[in-house]
Structure 1
Amino acid sequence: MDIGLVKRCAAAGVAAVALSVSVSAPAAASQAPGAATCSYQVTPVVVPPGAERQRVDVVATDGAGNYSGTEIVGSSGAYRLVLWHGDDPETVEPPKGFDSVAPRSQNRSGTVLVNAVSVADRKRQIFLYRDGNYEPLAIPDGFVDPRGVAINDLGEIVATANPVGGTGSVVIAWLSHAAGPVIIAPPELPYASAVDIDQDSTIMLGDGYSAYLWRSGKLIALPPSPEVPVLSRGISAGRAVGTILDAKGPKGVVWTGNIPELLEGGGAAESINRHGLIAGRARAWDGPPVVWQGTRLAAELPLPAGSTSARADLVSDDGTVFGDADAGAGPVHWRCAV
């Protein structure tokens, strides 16, 4: 362990023991589909007919076998929404008046949170796509350039937007217990940016290099942030993940509440599911794709034939891990074979 990192974390009010990588998964974690008992198999994601594999990406999942992503079309770089029903892809045209649409999040009911852009006037709009229809999300007056970020199973949504005529950014949340959109603009975060929302309405946010939780109107720092730069990535079932930026290399971290624990072997954490299974890359930014269970390195994920590197970017609640591989392999997924 980097002793300098521990000292900086302690200066931020964190006991050094909280950063021990020798601890096991949190006691509350249930056994994940696809944990230490698994032998993972890698399979190419089926892309839409005629699509180039390198132009397709998986972005979100409903946690129960369906997922969504993008296909880049034409020379303009515009995105099309792709929905996978099981492993069968369906390409969806953008809503009327928009040229490009990309998903950011998907919940258990199949609702997909998407961002749409009009090339002509650069207008941005957040939509919910469900039951074959795009439904625009009304943005509060006084804000522009909305970017939807995450939706939970309650249909609660978080987004980032800019104030009209002002500087910085704010987080906007649509919560089940609130009569209208909630504007989150902490003075500590003049460029507040949404990261994710948990099933209990806890919001993960930051300003690019910091990690915070927002719960019941209270802002909670996730040590060693903000004193040490951190990339925040996601939250599920009370556990959040991110990566501490350190001169000796990235250090994946999982927070239970606001208590940090380093992931075994270092590397970058990208996604966590409700069972505490974490996907990312071990040791370095360009390290091999891996999964951790709790803080323990559970498996290095195999590469598809012909590839020399891959990323593991997204882990579903059913244990499927999604990513991308080089050498033309494009999007792939890893599934557990016990």
Structure 2
Amino acid sequence: MHRWIWKLLEVTQEFTPAFAHHCLGACERQHRTLNERLTVHVLKEKSWETEIHSVTFSMNSSVNSSIDFSPFEIVFGKRPKFPVFGAHFNLNDIHPNMQKYFSDLKDRLNIIWEMIVQNAKVSGEKMEENANFKLNELKLSIGDYVYLQRTLTGQGRKFQPLYDGPFVVNIIPSPHLIKLRDLSGKRKLKSPVHINRLKLAHIRAPDPQNYLVQVPQQNPVSTSSDSDSESSQHEINTEQDIQLQNDNPTPLRRTSRVVQKPIRYRDENFLSEISSCDGAQEKIKRILAKKPHGSSFLYLVQLIGEPAQNAKWKPLSKLPPKAQELIIARPPPLV
């Protein structure tokens, strides 16, 4: 009976592989929305059996952004009446000619279905365009190093590595399927993998020391016959020396690190001329106040690394040039 109804309504059955939820996105999306909306009521200690009717009605009356119609309107050809409008029944709403009513309903549904097909096509093209714009196409060739994305299972999946490898591209049977080979030979990858599971691996040379050996420059070849024999013998000796250097390369010297002070301690303008007994110079942090001293002023100076209670009075001649400029630009308060 069900198969006869499906055939009458032109309903086709499509099969998808197991554990591939992305192949059935429309159905899985509906299940996710239904689960999210029922969770709110279950957390309020309500029975989901009583709330599922209102949730399904809200889902069927919501307009889909891709086709611009709600599921209720696609089936019945009109917008749903919500309980807010009232549940009264009027006999005048009954169509006098039911044959004309069904004919108009059929024409209205055909128009809605044609618009749905056009909107779905435009929405699909726009989605495909956005996906292709963000897609970083991976171009591989035989001999490239790649990482293989793993399928995480079991407990502690958040702490497991996402990729495994590196592997070497062995055969490319199609633009989407890649056959890999393990460098260590411990793992055999018989079936090819999809290119979406691969990521390019940048592998450095195993021993770059040989490439850093300085090659001695060869002397220019002279035009005379005597110099030709000498130069050829010199070239042979030079090639032997290079071969010996490649076999026994000289150890590379590591660069020594130059330790520098922070930038705030490199500014000598804030270093006062007064030195302590151990030879360390004093660095001024700020000028707190000034007071008259004869015909000039004394300035209360706080040093870096000292609290304000240990500030010292110093004349203007004992201050560095930058501190003197700061006094002229922003005079401290007079006490």
- Provide TM-score, normalisation by structure 2: 0.19
Bigger fraction of residues in helix = 2
